[in-house]
Structure formats: structure tokens, C-alpha cells
């Protein structure tokens, strides 16, 4: 089939090249000409493992290109997938990009003879597809949903850092359908994948995505709440608490003599908080939406509150070792909100850096993939970027590990001692063994241990 994907971000581009891999022809629509040119030169505008390879393959086989011409792209397609950003502004979802796109899609469909399917892939709150997207497209196209065009809501579950694997081998496809014809036609895209396809109403599909993100965010904040409790008690290390919990056969059953470690176990682990482009904004949007409906979402509100404080615990740990941070050289290891991505949106590194700067510390940062500070709240001239790991550690009085990159996991006590004088390590991801660190004379602090 011929597909038009609107949005050249993490979801748009990854969806585009995966659909090519499933045998379809894709046009990806963006609005930034520089970015479009880069994509057409086979250069992904962000880091995602394997994306450069699949993008190059898709373009050289002439199955994929990027453009800013939405009207023409829709004209040449059977299906249009909307994958633009849905940020939150003052805690509420900002639907401007979705509304603008619905209007432009509607205009492009005016006078279009063929039946066309419009699919919302962006994360939107329940009723958005039905009450916002559909009426706008109807108004601007002059057509009727279910007759001239079909409409679906297809939430995306890919995880940055693993996005291609997730998109190429999805665990399920959820298709919220306006009517059976829309759902059936859209499902043809995924017919050979062999994974379950769940057909629902539009709003149910929208809610499934929010419930998934709120669920994983809840597991993280639950893990962090228990970690904070452990920090109040002498002799308990959260790492050992999780070992004990994870062995529960209800969580990790043994099948045919092999213990199964389900994916959600990764979220039952403590650290300096979740970040990224989804959990923070989607939990906030869900709270605001719920409150508008008159329901106070107590649990999700607590999840957000716990997460907001979590990065600052890193500075509290640091201050157990260095009481006054003024003029101290502190290195933050990691800016990306998680490993294998260069996405720094809502990264826990930022609140940590803000406090360090406020207290007068000299801050150096090091990240294998992030080379610019993409954060308005911090003046990039106030921090230094390390050239490499040696530079990051040299002369630092303390390091704070924010992102569990493999490059940081490999650092041994000997390496810390080689470059730092009397090293202090604050482990925000619990990637080092506390005992081995201490045996080698490192002053070790970790989330979830006193
Ligand atoms: P992104 O910020 O990386 O990309 C958004 C894209 O939308 C950009 O290419 C931007 O140029 C484009 N865009 C925004 N407004 C536009 C407009 N008015 N006209 C044309 N293009 C416009 O965002 P993303 O991470 O790809 O997320 C997209 C959607 O998918 C969001 O709703 C997000 O919540 C959801 N989602 C994201 C992930 C993820 O891991 N990133 C996973 C699942 C779902």
C-alpha cells in the first residue's frame, strides 16, 4: 500500500521505515526543510540504533522519501498516519499540532476521489479522534467519515532506544476503528506480522496508550518510594530488596526449568526518576483530563510527585560527602533520559544540573550521544562538555551517574581512582557494586541505600 506518514520525529520516521520493511511504499511529511534533506541523504536526524541502516535501505530501494508537500503526499497515498508531537503545556495536552494537521489533511482530501484512511498515531486523550480530528477533517474535506474517508486511532508502543525492534516486531497492534471498514482496511498493513491485532473503539484505543504509560510510570515511582524508605533504614540496600521481590514466582515464573523475566521487571527497579517524551507528559495530561471530568486521580498524581523529587535525591546523596558545593568540580554522567537514545526531553539530568549550578558547583557533563544541551532552563555556557570519559573524570571531585550507558557501566573503581582524587560516586542507576567500590576506597552513594 502507499502510505503518507506525517511527522519525521522518533515515531514518524521509525514507523515509516518499518512500514517499508513490511512491503509498503512510504512518504514521510515534515515541515523543516533541513531535516527533510538530511533524511533524504539517509541521515537520521536523531540517534536510534539501526535506523541509519533501515533508512538507507528504504531510500536506495526507492520505497521511501521525505517531503514537506503534504497535499501531494496524501494524493499519492491510500492511508495517512498522523504522528506529530502532542506535548503538554501547563500540564494539559497541546492539541494545536493535531488540529493543524487535521485541517491540512481535510484540505488535501477535498475533491479526493478515492476512499482514504486517516490514522491518528500520536498519543491523544480519549475522545480526541472522534470529537476533534474527525469533525475538522469532515469540515475541511467536505466529506463524511465512514463514507469518503475512514478513520482509526492506532496508539504507538515503541520504546526509544529499541524503537526499530519494537516497530518491526510489535507485541500487539491496537486499532481503534470508527467503523469496521476503516479498521479492516488499516489492519491490512500489518497482516503478515503474526502478532495479535486488537480492534476497539476510538476512545478505548486512546485510553490503552495512557493506561500503559501510567502503569509503567507507576511501577517506577513505586520502586522509588520503596527506595526512599530503605534510605531511612540502616543496613538495607534496595538492590537486594528487588532481588528478593523479583524472585517471586508470580512475577518471574519458572517455565520448563527456565526463569522467565518479563519486561515489566525492568520498571521495578529504583533510580533517579523517569524522563523522556512520554511518561512525564502523558501522566500529567491524564491527570488534567481526569480532573476536568471531575475525578481526582490520586495514584497518578502521587506517581508524578514522587518522580519530581527523585532526581534531587542525587544532590542530597552528594551532600552527604561534600557539604558545600560551591566551586567544587562535579561531573554528571549522562544527559539522555535513558541509554541508547539522544533524547533529553524531561531528562532527570536537568533538575540535577540546575541545583548544582545554583549551589555554585563547576558542572561538567558527559554523554556518549548528546553533544548539545537542548534545555531552555539551563544556560549552556554555564556547563562544560567533556571530550571523553577521561576528561569527564579528570579533576572531578564527584561524579553523578544519571544514565545507565554501557560506557559508564564499564567504569571500574581503578578507572575512577586513576583520574579522580579520593573519588565520590553517586550512582543514580545502581550500575556499580557498592561493596566492590567501597573495598577499593571509592566513596559510594546510591539511590536506595543509606
Ligand atoms: P517528535 O517530537 O520526535 O516528533 C514530532 C514530529 O511532529 C516532528 O517531526 C515535528 O516536526 C512534527 N510536527 C509537530 N507539529 C507539526 C505541525 N504542526 N506540522 C507538521 N509537523 C509537525 O515526537 P515523537 O516522539 O515522534 O512523538 C510523536 C507522537 O507519538 C507523540 O504524540 C508521542 O506522545 C507519541 N509517542 C511517542 C513515543 C516515543 O517514544 N517518542 C512512543 C509512543 C508514542
410 vs 426: CA distance, rounded Å: 15
Asked whether the beta carbons of 306 and 348 are under 8 A apart, the reply is no
Does residue 278 carry a catalytic annotation?
yes
Please report how many Cα atoms fall inside a 13 Å half-sphere around the Cα of residue 375, on the Cβ side: 26
Mutation to probe ligand 1, out of 5, 11, 107, 285 (largest number of atoms < 8 A from CB): 11
DSSP string across 22-82: TT-EEEEE-S-HHHHHHHHTT--SS--TTHHHHHHHHHHTTSEEEES-HHHHHHT-SEEEE
Nearest CA to 426 among 280, 279, 328, 305?
A: 328
Query: pTM value?
Result: 0.96
pLDDT at 373: 87
30 C-beta closer than 6 A to ligand 1: yes
Point out the ligand 1 atom lying closest to the alpha carbon of residue 46: 3
pLDDT at 374: 83
Query: How many whole angstroms from 65 Cα to the centroid of ligand 1?
Result: 18
Question: Would you write out the chain's pLDDT as a tens digit for each of its 450 residues?
Answer: 999 999 999 999 999 999 999 999 999 999 999 999 999 999 999 999 999 999 999 999 999 999 999 999 999 999 999 999 999 998 899 999 999 999 999 999 999 999 999 999 999 999 999 999 999 999 999 999 999 999 999 999 999 999 999 999 999 999 999 999 999 999 999 988 999 999 999 999 999 999 999 999 999 999 999 999 999 999 999 999 999 999 999 999 999 999 999 999 999 999 999 999 999 999 999 999 999 999 999 999 999 999 999 999 999 999 999 999 999 999 999 999 999 999 999 999 999 999 999 999 999 999 999 999 889 999 989 999 999 999 999 999 999 999 999 999 999 999 999 999 999 999 999 999 999 999 999 999 999 999
**Ligand 1, atom 13: closest residue by C-alpha:** 84
Which residues lie across from 151 on neighbouring strands? 118
pLDDT at 170: 97
158 C-beta closer than 6 A to ligand 1: yes
277 C-beta closer than 6 A to ligand 1: yes
| Choice among 230, 272, 278, 366 that is catalytic | 278
Write the CB contacts of 306 (distance below 8 Å, at least 6 apart in sequence): 221, 224, 225
Nearest CA to 407 among 374, 429, 380?
A: 429
Query: How many whole angstroms from 44 Cα to the centroid of ligand 1?
Result: 15
pLDDT at 15: 98
Asked whether the beta carbons of 281 and 87 are under 8 A apart, the reply is yes
Query: How many whole angstroms from 12 Cα to the centroid of ligand 1?
Result: 7
Point out the ligand 1 atom lying closest to the alpha carbon of residue 158: 42
With the CA atoms of 283, 288, 294 and 297 taken in that order, what torsion angle do they form, in degrees rounded to the nearest 10?
Answer: 30
CA 257 to chain centre: 34
5 vs 11: CA distance, rounded Å: 10
143 C-beta closer than 6 A to ligand 1: no
Mutation to probe ligand 1, out of 5, 7, 83, 164 (largest number of atoms < 8 A from CB): 7
Amino acid at each position: 500500500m502507499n502510505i503518507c506518514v506525517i511527522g519525521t520525529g522518533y515515531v514518524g520516521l521509525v514507523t515509516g521505515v518499518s512500514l517499508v520493511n513490511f512491503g509498503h511504499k512510504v512518504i514521510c511529511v515534515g515541515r523543516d526543510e533541513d531535516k527533510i534533506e538530511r533524511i533524504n541523504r539517509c541521515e537520521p536526524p536523531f540517534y536510534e540504533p539501526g535506523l541509519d541502516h533501515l533508512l538507507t535501505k528504504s531510500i536506495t530501494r526507492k520505497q521511501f522519501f521525505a517531503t514537506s508537500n503534504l497535499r501531494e503526499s496524501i494524493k499519492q497515498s491510500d492511508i495517512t498516519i498522523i504522528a506529530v508531537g502532542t506535548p503538554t503545556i501547563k500540564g494539559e495536552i497541546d492539541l494545536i499540532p493535531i488540529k493543524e494537521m487535521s485541517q491540512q489533511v481535510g484540505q488535501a482530501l477535498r475533491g479526493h476521489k478515492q476512499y482514504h484512511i486517516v490514522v491518528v498515531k500520536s498519543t491523544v486523550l480519549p475522545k480526541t479522534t472522534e470529537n476533534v480530528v474527525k469533525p475538522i477533517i469532515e469540515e475541511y474535506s467536505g466529506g463524511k467519515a465512514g463514507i469518503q474517508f475512514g478513520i482509526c486511532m492506532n496508539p504507538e508502543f515503541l520504546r526509544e532506544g529499541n524503537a526499530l525492534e519494537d516497530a518491526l516486531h510489535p507485541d500487539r497492534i491496537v486499532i481503534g476503528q470508527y467503523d469496521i471498514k476503516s479498521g479492516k482496511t488499516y489492519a491490512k498493513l500489518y497482516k503478515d506480522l503474526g502478532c495479535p491485532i486488537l480492534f476497539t473503539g476510538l476512545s478505548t484505543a486512546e485510553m490503552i496508550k495512557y493506561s500503559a504509560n501510567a502503569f509503567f510510570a507507576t511501577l517506577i515511582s513505586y520502586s522509588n518510594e520503596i527506595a526512599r524508605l530503605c534510605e531511612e533504614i540502616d543496613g538495607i540496600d534496595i538492590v537486594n530488596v528487588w532481588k528478593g521481590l523479583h524472585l517471586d514466582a508470580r512475577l518471574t515464573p519458572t517455565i520448563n526449568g527456565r526463569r522467565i523475566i518479563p519486561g515489566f521487571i525492568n520498571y521495578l527497579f529504583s533510580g533517579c526518576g523517569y524522563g523522556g517524551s512520554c511518561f512525564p507528559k502523558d501522566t500529567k495530561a491524564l491527570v488534567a483530563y481526569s480532573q476536568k471530568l471531575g475525578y481526582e486521580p490520586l495514584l497518578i498524581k502521587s506517581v508524578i510527585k514522587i518522580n519530581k523529587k527523585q532526581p534531587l535525591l542525587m544532590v542530597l546523596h552528594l551532600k552527604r560527602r561534600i557539604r558545600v558545593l560551591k566551586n567544587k568540580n562535579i561531573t554528571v554522567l549522562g544527559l539522555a533520559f535513558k541509554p541508547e537514545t539522544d533524547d533529553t526531553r524531561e531528562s532527570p539530568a536537568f533538575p540535577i544540573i540546575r541545583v548544582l549550578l545554583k549551589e555554585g558547583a563547576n558542572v561538567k557533563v558527559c554523554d556518549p550521544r548528546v553533544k548539545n544541551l537542548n534545555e531552555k532552563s539551563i544556560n549552556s555556557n554555564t556547563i562544560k562538555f567533556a571530550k571523553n570519559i577521561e576528561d569527564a573524570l579528570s579533576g572531578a571531585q564527584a561524579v553523578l551517574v544519571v544514565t545507565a550507558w554501557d560506557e559508564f557501566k564499564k567504569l571500574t573503581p581503578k578507572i575512577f581512582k586513576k583520574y579522580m582524587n579520593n573519588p565520590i560516586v553517586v550512582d543514580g542507576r545502581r550500575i556499580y557494586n557498592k561493596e566492590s567500590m567501597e573495598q577499593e576506597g571509592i566513596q559510594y552513594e546510591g539511590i536506595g541505600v543509606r
